[in-house]
A and B are shown apart, each in its own frame.
Chain A
Amino acid sequence: MMTEARYLPLLALLLGAVALWLLLPGKKAWPRRLGGLLGVTALGLVFSLLPRAGQWAADSLFLLLAAVAIFSAAAAISFRNPVYCALWFGQTLLAVAGLLWFLGAQFLAFATVVVYVGAILVLFLFVLMLAQPEGRAACDRISFESQISSVAAIVIVGWLAFAVGGALSSGGGAGEGAPLDAEALADGVLTSEHVWRLGTELFTQHFLAIQLVGVLLLVALVGAAVIVSRQRMVKKSGER
């Protein structure tokens, strides 16, 4: 029984690697649907191995959000049409925002939706419409080294998950942050004055960092304008 429990995560990782390899664009002997099937199987296997928090409603909500996030992330990197990739990535972002909400980070959930879905993804689609040539280009049909990159990603994910799971289950990774009770959480992260507390934290302890982020945004804005306009200037001087 114990050996089965030890080999099940490895099996899930292997299934995930094969699924990713099949899903990535390129000429394969097997159909992509098989990859999707294997991926869903691996996801179900991983979810069956995750520890449960106790309340079935909260657990199933978390698992649903996580499943939507991971499924649409896999779809976002495996579709050939970049517009579909962007739309699936938008669904990933919404699911991650839901997970952040689940963790009690309400402001971050809203910021993710507003900044990522509202700004970055729309900018992405805009550039896509501007730059996408007609038809499906070769770069969307063939991918680089899909075997090696899936294996590399699976090794990293497995290492992270095993290290985290081992450290947390043995209690060694907890450090001073002992498992909390509901009262301590309601007084801390899950307080009803969430935005007020977060803003106080930001503008007292991280005041310099906030200013630096403002400077960074300004520099990025000017830099983007310079990159595009300098290229135009180079072209004009080349014509003459």
Chain B
Amino acid sequence: MSAGILVLVEHLKGAVADITFEMLGAARQLAQASQAPVHAVLVGKDVAGLAAQLGAADAVIVVEDAAAELPSTELVLAVLRQLLEQKQAGLVLLGGTNVSFGLGVRLAARAKLPFVNFCKGLRWDNRALVCTSQLFGGKILSDVRLPDGRGVISIYPGSFPADAGKSDKTPPVERLAAPAVQSKVVFRQLLEPAAGDVDITKQRVLVGVGRGIQSRDHVQLAEELAAALGGAVCASRPVIDQGWLPLSRQVGKSGLTVKPRVYLALGISGAPEHWEGMQNSECIIAINTDPRAPIFDGAHFGVVGDVLELLPLLTEKVKARKT
């Protein structure tokens, strides 16, 4: 039997995040070949109740920590290091999310293991584990081999089917006392986003603008199309960071997840962090000057063209059809 697999359960505000099921599914698949046990590691305040959802694991290890609403990273690190030894585990799967961000690097540094980021594919090659990662905003893939199958791997959200990590089975639960740790970082509070003027998660059509829109003034062109279609304008991160639209309009990893009937991606390259938030839209239409923009790989319809030229034309055509 080969070394066990630890899956760090990700949860926020009392809910298990989807990435956890993706990771459990990936771990199950790896365990099938290696016969290694899969341990789900659940750390936090009042989290024991979440264990029932983790039946895809061979066991759930629960570490209750009453100290704070969010477990400190130092505590999570101490737990994982302890379990690497106790369970003779060789592989740790973490979410490639903002929550687990930075954790993998620190665990790898302390446990002297390799760390693989942006992972979207895993396969055994005899005793070696081959990890496929997406780099450069999804434009390049790279394969890395972990010769003895040991390492810390950050799983990119949306890479593995979540359903494979769900099970009705009741998993055995083991309790582990929280190791005493000192953390210099102190959690204070969660800040809910300010409600925006429109809720982009409730629109049937979204006009998404990216860096390709080039200036604040041009956002108006998108507003006009959205108005003609009875939808709203949303944006990728660079547009929000420039202050051209409020945070409530951001789609993606740090922003909102949307699922409209039609999502127009205008001057958006389709970086994984944006794709994460709109990939489940019923129909995706992309306009981009770069014929190799990754957005075209996932969109339903694509146009290689200048959004500044096409936007006013399209608005005109839409208006013409309404009269």
Q: A and B: real partners?
A: no
